[in-house]
Chain A
Amino acid sequence: CDVLNVESQSAVEEEQAIKDKTGIEKGILGAYTSFQALSYYGRSYLIFSDLAADNLDHPADATALEYAQIDNDVILPENGSVDGMWSSAYEGINIANNIIAKVPDMADMTPAEKNAALGELYFIRALNHFNLLNYWGSVPVKTSPTIGTSGLDVPRDPVAKVYEQIIADLTFAEANLGAGSTKVRASKDAATALLARVNLYKGDYAQAKAKATAVIESENYDLIAYADVFADGSDESIFEIDFTDLNRNRIAEYNFPKTLNGRREVAPSPTLLTAYEVGDARYPVSVAFAGALPYANKYNDLSVGADNVIVLRLAEMYLIRAEAEAKLQGDVDAIRQDINAVRTRAKLPDTNLSSYDGLLNFIEKERRVEFAFEGHRWFDLVRTNRAVDVLPNVNNVNQTLFPIPLTEIVTNQNPGMKQNPGY
């Protein structure tokens, strides 16, 4: 009786897994799955940017201590949810790198197919690196798959190098990806749109403006009624993360009040509610009430959690172009037009501000309400160095970077893996 001859029934050996084009296709989809993690777009990542800033609060009667730390902007390096974001992003990078390394060897793929596959994987890698950069500052750039346990003690790379890699990856993706048949996978426009955001954050306003313009002028997307924006695959969406009943998000669960069977770990802050102008069409879509209790309602599939989460949408391109133009001290009319495009859709009157500073402040406020609960607010305040001024809990610029998770600090022996100051 040969009891030793057994094979895994739940996983396939590496050599068998990826042999051809279909294997690469499955691998690319595998790289997207890390975005679905609860610590990532499945919940925490999406919520934390608003929670660390002033769009969401952790109510006094809520129980998740890790969320309380984010709200208080007093984050311990052992915070498991913060660790989860870091780990999920690097998991996605590693999956992408694994598949990237295999693409060149596939005999049944044409050079164009290979480049398209690489483009999609580079996009995934870039988005992950960018998300890391925004919370932690300088982070290790990873461009090769983890093989064995050597080479894991890596230093943090300078912010400039992280940007360089992100932009290189996205530029390749932009050049090699097509229009795409679904919004839940990267397309040429998704790469361009992400390049617009990356350049804005980096401060390369000319590039930000150019990329935003390219997406707007592609006319592939529309500023549709705000209430329809958050439906899966809406005309405004450029790129979104797929969630289904098998791969659920738990966003609504943490937002909804207990009377509606949620956990209410987070709730819209009073200052956000007052930031909406009277008549703003975005307000009833963004915030719902259970009695007197407000709650975020953009992602509201409490039961199944199958609503897709938008990463990039057209309104952001307008506001990026407006902000870039203002930073470039460019055409005031053009700036106003872009802002007003977003405001008109929100059923609000046009702005006729004329100073660049005034417009920049106005854009900041406009972004706050336009993208409330979509994970922008913290990054907006941090990249413009406004967090210390605006956020009561942030008294020190050290607080604008999250602590490197303790697991990385403890396990990574490289002297260049240093904790952010203040932790």
Chain B
Amino acid sequence: QERMVRGKVTSAEDGSEQPGVNVVVKGTAKGTVTDQDGQYSLQITAADEVLVFTFIGMQPQEVVVNNRDRIDVVMQADTKQLAEVVVVGYGTEQRRLMTGSVGVVKADAIKDLPVPTIDGVLQGQTTGVQVSQNSGTPGGAMSVRVRGTTSLSGSGQPLYVIDGIPLITGDFGQIGYEGQGINALSDLNPSEIESISVLKDGAAAAVYGARASNGIVLITTKRGKSGNSVVNVNMYQGFQQVWNKLDMLNTQQWMEYRNDLAGTTVFTEAQINDPNKVNTDWQKEIFRTSPIRNYEVSTQGGNDKTKFFISGGYFDQKGILIGTGFKRVNARMNVDHKINDRLNIGASVGLTYSTSDRVESDQSLHGPLPNGISTPSIISVYNADGSYNQSGPYSNAVSIANEATNKNFTYRTLGNVFGEYKILPGLSVVSKWGADFYNLREHAFEFNTVQGQKYNGLGFEAYTNVLNIVSNNMLKYDGSIGKHNFDVVLGYSFEKYQSRDSYMRGQDYADENLQYINSAATKVDVTASALDRGIRSYFTRINYNFDGKYILSLSGRVDASTNFGPNNRNGFFPAASAAWRVSQEDFFRDNVTAVSEFKIRASYGLLGNDNIPSFSYQALYSNGSYNGKPAIYPRSIPNPDLKWETTAQLDIGVDVGFFADRLTLAVDYYNKQTRDLLLSRPLPPNSGFSSITENVGELQNKGVEVTLGYNGPLGPVKWSSSLNLSANRNKVIKLYNGQVIDDGRGGNRIMEGEPVGVFYNFKSLGVDPSTGDIVFEDTNHDGEITTDDRTIIGNPNPKFIGGFTNTFNYKGFDLSVFLQFSYGNDVFNGSRLYLESLQGGDNQIEAVTRRWRKPGDITDIPRATSDPVKAAENKRASSRFIEDGSYMRVKNLTLGYTFNKIFTSKVMLSSLRVYASAQNLFTFTNYTGLDPEVNYSGNDIRVAGTDFFTFPQARAITFGVNLKF
């Protein structure tokens, strides 16, 4: 016979009603869920003796019915469940039981940053991760290095994995802009992210095998939670400005300099003193105050069976340099559903459409930034008739920005579906299939520019279509026998990568308004190409702990990659780690009460890198044409023995918590030894080839990372603070035959015994007071200055980097200050090569007014001379242009106010916060260029630390509001 049981579920913490609690008759499928007010009612029979109450984050309770018809329950928070869970490769782990080194960034830490990209928000947030903006290009690429440069090939970027699916990253742009690359990562909206884990050591990363040596960035998107549906609205709007300008010559100084250079009167005294002479501030013409805005709405909710997260966002940023901008529209839907007690399924879909406007820069003679800065103030922007004034040394910067179209469009779908079936208690099988479709369209056209006129209209159209399909299949076991706890993963995964692209260039356009290739009379450089790649992997991880005290973890992965030849297709990457939680020992707990956590951990693992051009192992012939017929020629020297490079990483760390973990300290020491370095080794050109990809060389990175955190009261203020410091020492141990590799404008060199990419060039001893010419050091004392006199003159690798975050909460106010710094890195200021050339028609920086004029002058700037040999020698790339690139930035400062509940409930909101935020508010640096954060050639490892008219970072001031209802 049936009867009804009713009751109310409340929380022990604050006595509030608990909606969404599962109430199930033990041993049956019969059950219900508590309503808004925590009430439930359930039909039961006499045989039903026990009710089970469960809710996420709470301890489950079993209650014997005992003939009662009203049962009220008070749920206790489950401290074990609340313990911080960290996403790791193919699973999660409790932080306190972790043996590896993982940097974690939570959604909270990045929520107010007006930074549109994932790599951007990583900057300064965790130890061991060096993020440098290659330039200030909106939506542009950044360099991310995890624990130093581990490899000399490929990009050195970590592998990004989103919700378990490796992501297509990098720059697929075919219309090159040198360092202003497109960033495939920019299609992800950081506000969709729940957490980011950076896997740094062997124990954490080895489960990603042949792609792990540059580190792994695991991104987890937000998912639904059972309970009331919540709608979040976040908006901000603001403006950006250039934070620094160069002091350039004004017209009067320019005229005096030209007279000095020519040695005759080019400009008369009357011209120099003419108050009406043209005096254009070109930086004012090319930089602007530009808007930035972001709107997003998300909602999450669900019940015990189905949970969802749906979000949509719109981001719009105009660049501080005219002609640039980035826009993104994106949507995401993550759904989890429980079909029955054994089977869970879920899906995640992210859709993005983004566009960016770019300008040529850096290496080009058609970039608004280099052209603008290099044009003397004597040149006006427009002629009297309103047309662009093209009489400067380079084509008119404003004309390029206004008249040239360079647009990219990305259409991105990132999705996965998964199912998890519980075979037995603790044992489950999981299968996840994901795909990343990346479509890039590039459209460029110019007509009314100097370059456009050269070709009577010049247009490009490029399409790139990349597909990566991933399948992860795992058997998982999680269980305990007495105090022995096990967590085992056994997996099989494969990935199929396909890219197809096409590229067209057209000239001779019918009309300036017809921008597409169908209107071009001459079609040149019409190409299309294809690339297929695959990787197949088996992996496992076994975590064991005894009583949460002694922890042991073993992992391994076997990868077969098509990047390697048949002789060496499979690589094995094992790792082992162990930790001892001393603080769990009785002797410690009883005697050292101030220390709440004390863990010692060590790990050792092998990590691989397969980031090399495909098919380097094969003897291949490339195609070309001659005399209108197909032509073929050998492409490269085959290397059938080609294999992955291996990094053996040792990590020793301690995690300490004081005063109930209010104060925490984590210290790691690591030693990474990379061998079989994949190197595009330069060959003697007499071979007919420039290089061969080989496993040669060894590289070492050693470092120390310290994270100090405080979370607690400071008088009436709640204060949380985190300081992270990382020091990495990189050294090239061995290269092929000791052969050096030179590259870059500043003379970056890779050589044995030195950090990667040291500046190797002439050493300037300054200006000879008697001649006004630069004197170079004759390092080999042979009486003449030759190439052999070059020496190490700088190091682009920082001595240490770090970030310091402080958040204060007082009543409704919150204030956060985020400092980010880099110390001890040198920058080659390649712009000065032209801006202090004292030659040619380039505008000069104001510093040249202190140039040498007459014998006896003591100065650092040489004379202006029309002697071409001397002038060329004086501006030779040398230590004269190496500068200290250390900086400290107030990266972000945010002040927010959250209205109290009484007020917000009146306006039908559950929460309301307003804030103001400043990005790059202050920068402290001795660097004389526009911005110390530079990488003129993007991610290229070999030419780090070179500034060459690089697009500077913006200072952004934004005002935002967060609503919740």
Contacts and interface: CB of A to CB of B under 8 A. Distances in A.
Interface of A: 1-15, 17-18, 23, 25-27, 29-34, 36, 58, 60-63, 65, 68-69, 71-72, 74, 76-78, 83, 86-87, 90-95, 97-98, 140, 142, 145-149, 152-154, 182, 184-185, 242, 244-248, 253, 258-259, 261-263, 302-304, 393, 405-408, 410-413, 417, 423
A69 B635 CA distance: 31
Contact of B872 (A72, A91, A140): A72
B455 A3 contact: no
Interface string B767-794: 0000000000000000000110000000
Contact of A9 (B532, B534, B637): B532
A417 to B, nearest CB: 8
B618 A13 contact: yes
Interface string B520-558: 001111100111111110000000000000000000000
Contacts of B524: 245-246, 248, 304
B386 interface: no
B622 A65 contact: no
Contacts of A261: 450-451, 453-454
A413 B635 CA distance: 24
Nearest to B449: A261
B27 interface: no
B633 A4 contact: no
Nearest to A263: B365
Interface residues of B, number: 80
A337 to B, nearest CB: 36
B455 A303 contact: yes
Nearest to B786: A423
Contacts of B526: 246
B866 interface: yes
A324 to B, nearest CB: 32
Given A77-B787, A148-B637, A247 B625 contact: yes
Interface string B819-852: 0000000000000001000011100000000000
5 contacts: A33-B624, A61-B393, A246-B524, A261-B450, A423-B786
B632 A30 contact: yes
B535 A149 contact: no
Interface stretch (B225-233, B275-283, B653-661, B681-689): B681-689
Looking at B560, B687, B841, the one whose CB has the most chain A CB atoms below 10 A away is: B687
Contact of B454 (A36, A302, A423): A302
Given A29-B631, A30-B624, A31-B633, A8 B685 contact: no
Nearest to A93: B688
Contact of B637 (A17, A77, A149, A406): A149
B536 A9 contact: no
B81 to A, nearest CB: 38
A6 B873 CA distance: 52
Given A4-B536, A60-B866, A412-B686, A65 B872 contact: yes
Interface stretch (B294-302, B736-744, B910-918): B736-744
B508 interface: yes
Given A26-B629, A32-B631, 17 more contacts: A3-B562, A8-B614, A10-B622, A14-B621, A26-B632, A29-B625, A74-B872, A76-B787, A94-B689, A142-B688, A147-B637, A149-B637, A185-B627, A248-B524, A261-B450, A261-B451, A303-B522
A27 B632 contact: yes
B425 interface: no
**Nearest 6 interchain pairs by C-beta:** A94-B688, A3-B534, A261-B454, A30-B633, A9-B530, A29-B631
B807 interface: no
A38 B623 CA distance: 18
B495 interface: yes
Contact of B631 (A12, A26, A303): A26
Interface in B179-224: none
B421 interface: no
Contacts of B533: 6
A15 B618 CA distance: 11
A30 B631 contact: yes
Nearest to B839: A60
A410 B682 contact: yes
A9 B689 contact: no
Nearest to A153: B684
B739 A411 contact: yes
A285 B791 CA distance: 49
B532 A7 contact: yes
B872 A68 contact: yes
Most buried by A among B535, B621, B635, B692: B621
A91 B407 CA distance: 37
Contact of B683 (A74, A76, A149): A149
A69 B872 contact: yes
Nearest to A256: B454
Nearest to B615: A8
A11 B621 CA distance: 5
Contacts, number: 233
A180 B517 CA distance: 37
Interface in B35-68: none
A72 B875 CA distance: 14
Contact of A4 (B562, B689, B739): B562
B866 to A, nearest CB: 7
B620 interface: yes
Of the candidates B628, B631, B638, the one having the most CB atoms from chain A within 10 angstroms of its own CB is: B631
A412 B625 contact: no
B812 interface: no
B621 A17 contact: yes
Contact of A411 (B624, B683, B694, B841): B683
B832 to A, nearest CB: 14
Given A76-B787, A248-B524, A60 B868 contact: yes
A78 B560 contact: no
B627 A6 contact: no
Interface in B864-911: 866, 868-869, 872-873
B494 A1 contact: yes
B151 interface: no
Contacts of B626: 29-30, 32-33, 36, 184, 242, 247
B569 interface: yes
A231 B627 CA distance: 16
Contacts of A92: 688
B620 A12 contact: yes
A90 B872 contact: no
Contact of A6 (B365, B532, B637): B532
A94 B494 contact: no
Contacts of A393: 869
B15 interface: no
A27 B637 contact: no
B633 A33 contact: yes
B531 A9 contact: yes
Interface string B601-620: 00000000000001100111
Of A17, A72, A142, A411, chain B has the most CB atoms within 10 Å of the CB of: A411
A182 B688 CA distance: 27
A145 B689 CA distance: 11
B149 interface: no
B747 to A, nearest CB: 8
Nearest to B533: A6
Given A303-B522, A304-B524, A410 B740 contact: yes
B237 interface: no
B689 to A, nearest CB: 7
- Which of A65, A242, A393 has the largest number of chain B CB atoms within 10 A? A65
A12 B622 CA distance: 7
Contacts of A153: 684
B620 A11 contact: yes
B685 A83 contact: yes
B507 interface: yes
A62 B531 CA distance: 40
A12 B450 contact: no
Most B-side CB within 10 Å, residue of A1, A25, A29, A83: A29
Nearest to A59: B840
